[in-house]
Amino acid sequence: MTAVPPTARPSDPAPHPVHALGGSVTPDDFKAVFRGHPGGVAVITAEGPDGPVALTATSVSSVSVDPPLLVFSVTAASSAAPAISAASTIVVHLLDADDIVVARTAATSGIDRFADRTSWTRLATGEPVFTGVRAWLRCAVVNRMEAGGSTVIAAHALQSHVNRDIEAGTVGNALVYHNRVWHRLGEHSALD
Amino acid sequence: MTAVPPTARPSDPAPHPVHALGGSVTPDDFKAVFRGHPGGVAVITAEGPDGPVALTATSVSSVSVDPPLLVFSVTAASSAAPAISAASTIVVHLLDADDIVVARTAATSGIDRFADRTSWTRLATGEPVFTGVRAWLRCAVVNRMEAGGSTVIAAHALQSHVNRDIEAGTVGNALVYHNRVWHRLGEHSALD
């Protein structure tokens, strides 16, 4: 995971070494800050050398709509990380609260995340896709940036599919992960 | 904003041109997918050439805890974008629902985001900081990646401050932005 896969184009130089920055934020300090930071929930899949892989990520965000670009990061902690980091195309599934089973499954280590053969299929282009989720994007990886053993990946959306649209101005049924708890957004959580 | 500022180190080559990818996702398609994707709320500040600047972002995520690295993206649409993108150090404020005024202020264009002189101060190192928010990190920008006119920025935390800690396993009082509506997380929004 720390090595740039052969298909990647060159990354930026490595970040400044820690000692050169004079920083004093410990891992525990940093975790305390991010413990209070919630995130929307995505599942990212790819076809790896040993079959389909999936991981749950709260780091997906939209970067640009024209061209349609998103970014996310992958940490080495996930068993799916090497295959996702090396893939040239991936599927980014953006989930709502109805997709909690898919979210939990892709977040659980040590299980076969594709055991339920009714929950997924393969696109004509070969990538695995969980068919019932709110929305998904098939993407080409267009850029990678190494950061502390993790990989930040920029991807260009090639194909989109929305199963459950959300109208502008409505609160919908979004899924959020925060401090190891799943939450559902709705009228009950909206601030005026 | 589209130009890499002089202090940046070289970015990766530009993404593949759209026509080479065979993509057919329109800006409206892409917006429909991300309309349902919520995000935690951060305010990012820097000292620009014309004084302090601030913007509200839902793209901040933790990438690595050791070293302590985060990533976010800045779109050219914000007046603060050029100064944030060019800064060598920034402050990333991670907000909770008690910080809704700071979140709204930094998200409103055309106003002086620093008009309330009681809400902020300067660190000894010069960066503006909103002092009352849940938590903030002073960071050094360590890497930049251009993506569709936006800039993806990786930053290394140098200094952290937590005003309101959240204990492991508790639901806290998080702030989420989703489809133009602010939400508060708590027991009322938790699943199971």
Are A62 and B34 in contact (CB < 8 Å)? yes
Q: What is the pLDDT of residue B78?
A: 83
What are the tens digits of pLDDT across the range B78-122?
889 999 999 999 999 999 999 999 999 999 989 999 999 999 999
Provide the chain B residues 1-60 that lie in CB contact (below 8 A) with chain A.
Answer: 9-13, 15-16, 18, 21-27, 29-40, 42, 58-60
What are the tens digits of pLDDT across the range B169-185?
677 899 999 999 999 99
As a whole number, mean pLDDT of residues B16-38 equals: 80
As a whole number, mean pLDDT of residues A162-187 equals: 89
What are the tens digits of pLDDT across the range A42-54?
999 999 999 999 9
Residue A20 has pLDDT above 90, yes or no: no
Q: What is the pLDDT of residue B15?
A: 44
The percentage of chain A sitting over the pLDDT mark of 70, rounded to a whole number, equals 88
Here the tokens at position A26 are 């410990």
Phi and psi at B87, nearest 5°, equal -70, 150
Q: What is the DSSP letter of B172?
A: T
Output the DSSP codes for B19-61.
HHHT----HHHHHHHHTT--EE-EEEEEEETTEEEEEEES--E
CATH number of A40-184, picked from 3.40.50.720, 2.30.110.10, 2.60.120.560, 3.20.20.140: 2.30.110.10
Least confident of A140-144, B75-79, B127-131: B75-79
Q: What is the pLDDT of residue B20?
A: 52
Q: What is the pLDDT of residue A44?
A: 98
Q: What is the pLDDT of residue A171?
A: 77
**Residues of B with CB below 8 A from A32's CB?**
135, 160, 162, 165
What class is the B37-184 domain? mainly beta
As a whole number, mean pLDDT of residues A85-91 equals: 96
Output the DSSP codes for B83-135.
HHHH-SEEEEEE-BGGGHHHHHHHH-TTS-TT--TTSEEE-TTS-EEETTSSE
Q: What is the pLDDT of residue A167?
A: 77
The percentage of chain A sitting over the pLDDT mark of 90, rounded to a whole number, equals 76
In whole angstroms, give the CA distance from residue A115 to residue A120. Answer: 9
pTM recorded for the entire structure: 0.88
Q: pLDDT band at residue A13, thresholds of 50, 70 and 90?
A: very low
Interface mutation target, options B25, B91, B98, chain A, most CBs of A under 10 Å:
B25
